[in-house]
Amino acid sequence: MRLIWWLATVGAVGLISIFLSEQGALVPVRNVHLTISSPVEGVLRDAADPLEDIYTSITDRGSLVRENEELRAQLEELEAQLAEQQGNEQTITELEQALGVRTRRPDDQLLAARVVAQDVSGQKRMIAIDRGTDDGLDEGMVVMSGAGSLVGTVTAAYEGYSWVRLITDPDSSVNAQVNTGVAQPRPVATPEVITGGGSPTPSPTPSPAPDGEPGATAIRGVLKGDLRPVVLLDLLPPDADIESSDLVVTSGLGGNYPPGILIGAVKSVQQRPESAFAKASVEPAAKLASLDTVLVLINFIPARLESP
């Protein structure tokens, strides 16, 4: 019975509300409701704005992270392409230099090799190249730069690689000579120059004049390394007429090096009256600290002369 009365009451209230709404009698009530609820809704909206901003920031940050990852991938790809292009240009330049050396030394057999390692102990100046006994290399063979200046000699040869002692190594000793009085342009210490395009190209390397050429004087000494970028030319005559920028080449004495290979240029001369010999510091023509490709002179076999 109560359920019937309750349903009847709810139905009656509903009918009365519909009737009053149709007659516009509930408009004042609705306005009062809006007046009361509007400030509350505004407060709730203001409170929800920071949460919306946080949600938007999180969503935007995720998009930025994805975009950054895509940009990094694109940048890495472009850098790889650039590195490959630069490597190809460097290889072409090195081959052009090697071709120039072959042209200047037509009777020599030169084998190109890549530098694959270097001694990092700080007590030696050694590099490893990717050529070994399988390629015909043997201990004592002369190694030159891509432009044809002296780098050092092979000290140990294995099947797939070899170690090369640079002329700046403390154990390196080269019989050398200074050619003075020769009418020729005197380059700076290194024959490789940088052109306007930014790539190294071989500059003309004047051939050292033979000892018998009129006006030419060969002053002989021994070139020794001591870990410094420059090497010391020792045992020179005390009255040697040597000037800065004079070219230094191998003399061929001792049988370990063929004559006439460019070593570098005189940087300074030390002459003391009380000393039995003069000394000169020589800046190597080859960029020994940044070698990439070298040439091995495989047709020259050191004489290995014994003491008398």
Write out the chain's pLDDT in tens, 308 residues. Answer: 666 776 667 666 566 666 555 555 555 555 555 565 556 556 556 665 666 666 566 666 667 777 778 777 777 777 777 776 665 555 555 555 555 555 666 778 899 999 999 998 889 999 999 999 999 999 999 999 988 999 999 999 999 999 999 999 999 999 999 988 654 443 433 333 323 333 333 333 444 444 444 455 789 999 999 889 999 999 999 988 899 889 999 999 999 999 999 999 999 998 887 788 999 999 999 999 989 999 999 999 888 666 66
Q: Looking at residue 262, which CATH number applies to its domain?
A: 2.40.10.350
For the entire predicted model, the pTM comes to 0.61
Tally of domains within the chain: 2
Of 184, 177, 186, 187, the residue nearest 215 (C-alpha): 184
> Measured between alpha carbons, how far is 1 from 6 in angstroms, rounded to an integer?
9
> What is the pLDDT, as a whole number, of residue 137?
95
Give every CB contact of residue 92 below 8 A, 6+ residues apart in sequence: none
pLDDT confidence of residue 56: 65
Within this chain, do residues 85 and 122 fall inside the same structural domain, yes or no?
A: no
Cα radius of gyration rounded to whole Å, the chain: 42
165 assigned to some structural domain? yes
220 falls within a domain: yes
Domain hosting 236: range is: 111-297
